[in-house]
């Protein structure tokens, strides 16, 4: 397998949370510690400003601040994917250009949507990604997730990969993800540079069997995801399955009980960051849910619970 630092990018690329202090302000020192932990825990790369980074509660100025702080601190140690999603083609293209100039290895983008009913037809989605592709020289990852409420067929995704120069990576986190990954690889062939798993790795083994080459998970335990993916790509599938079974209760608890809170709670518990604050109107985890997450995590001894102690 190619080095994760070089294209094609492969391996574990978790989403980094945006770190706030107890008053809800950006905590850039905590952000840098978060990134250092994620690298030390085995991340091949990271993604910033994603939904699990609470990108929807940041001002444009704060987005720029976080992006530059992270890219400057990483300083090329690992590839960084910057999420540049926006409804406007022009704004998304401008954000993507800015990310490239700042040193991003890739941009991740959802199809344009707004609220429950504002959707763009397929022709408009194609033009949206064409505008962004023409604006950058780095790969684009299309995030295919239920939150957009926008159906993206295998044929349509494969067509964009064949016709748009920089559309090369696909984070598939819809129901029956493995079938979609398998179909996308079959339809797109070599232009599908990165068929990736998402949704906190809850379907990781099925997706790896279908041909996934990367996983974009929560940021709390990249070392655990490595324990699944490393043996799988080394041809030790039984070892990968055993690791998946071992880590699945924590993956499930994150996915079904905690969502984007999970990595922050684990990072605070392990001394990586000082506050696990999420921005209002998001609410903190119930104490019982928090305790359940930490209890399951302790049984696995992830790096996050030891890194800052």
Q: Which member of 171, 180, 187, 264 is catalytic?
A: 171
Q: Tell me the HSE value of 293 on the side-chain side, using a 13 A CA sphere.
A: 29
Handedness of CA 91, 96, 102, 107 (dihedral sign): positive
CB atoms inside a 10 Å sphere around CB 87: 15
What's the rounded Cα separation, in Å, for the pair 95 and 89?
10
What's the rounded Cα separation, in Å, for the pair 23 and 230?
39
Residue 187 appears among annotated catalytic residues = no
For residue 15, give the 3-state DSSP assignment.
strand
What's the rounded Cα separation, in Å, for the pair 38 and 304?
8
What's the rounded Cα separation, in Å, for the pair 186 and 259?
32
Cβ pair 143, 109 in contact under 8 A: yes
Handedness of CA 216, 218, 219, 225 (dihedral sign): negative
Cβ pair 139, 166 in contact under 8 A: yes
What's the rounded Cα separation, in Å, for the pair 69 and 31?
8
- The token pair that represents 10 in the structure block: 């492969």
- The token pair that represents 257 in the structure block: 């009980």
The residues carrying an active-site annotation are: 171
């Amino acid at each position: 397998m190619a080095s994760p630092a070089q294209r094609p990018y492969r391996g574990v690329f978790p989403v980094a949370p945006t770190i706030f202090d107890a008053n809800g302000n950006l905590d850039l020192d905590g952000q840098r510690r978060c990134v250092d932990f994620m690298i030390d825990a085995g991340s091949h790369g990271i993604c910033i400003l994603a939904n699990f980074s609470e990108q929807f509660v940041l001002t444009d100025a704060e987005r720029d601040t976080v992006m530059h702080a992270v890219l400057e601190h990483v300083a090329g140690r690992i590839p960084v994917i910057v999420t540049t999603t926006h409804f406007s083609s022009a704004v998304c293209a401008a954000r993507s250009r800015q990310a490239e100039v700042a040193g991003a290895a890739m941009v991740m983008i959802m199809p344009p949507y707004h609220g429950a009913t504002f959707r763009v037809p397929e022709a408009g989605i194609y033009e949206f990604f064409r505008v962004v592709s023409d604006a950058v020289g780095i790969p684009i990852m299309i995030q295919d997730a239920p939150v957009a409420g926008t159906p993206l067929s295998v044929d349509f995704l494969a067509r964009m990969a064949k016709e748009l120069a920089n559309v090369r990576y696909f984070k598939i986190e819809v129901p029956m993800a493995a079938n979609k990954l398998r179909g996308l690889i079959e339809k797109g062939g070599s232009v599908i540079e990165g068929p990736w798993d998402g949704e906190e790795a809850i379907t990781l083994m099925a997706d790896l069997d279908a041909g996934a080459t990367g996983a974009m998970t929560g940021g709390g335990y990249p070392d655990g995801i490595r324990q699944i993916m490393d043996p799988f790509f080394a041809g030790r599938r039984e070892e990968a399955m055993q690791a998946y079974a071992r880590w699945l209760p924590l993956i499930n608890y994150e996915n079904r009980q905690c969502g984007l809170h999970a990595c922050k709670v684990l990072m605070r518990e392990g001394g990586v960051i000082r506050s696990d604050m999420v921005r209002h109107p998001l609410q903190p985890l119930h104490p019982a849910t928090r305790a359940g997450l930490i209890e399951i995590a302790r049984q696995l001894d992830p790096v996050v619970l030891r890194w800052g102690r």
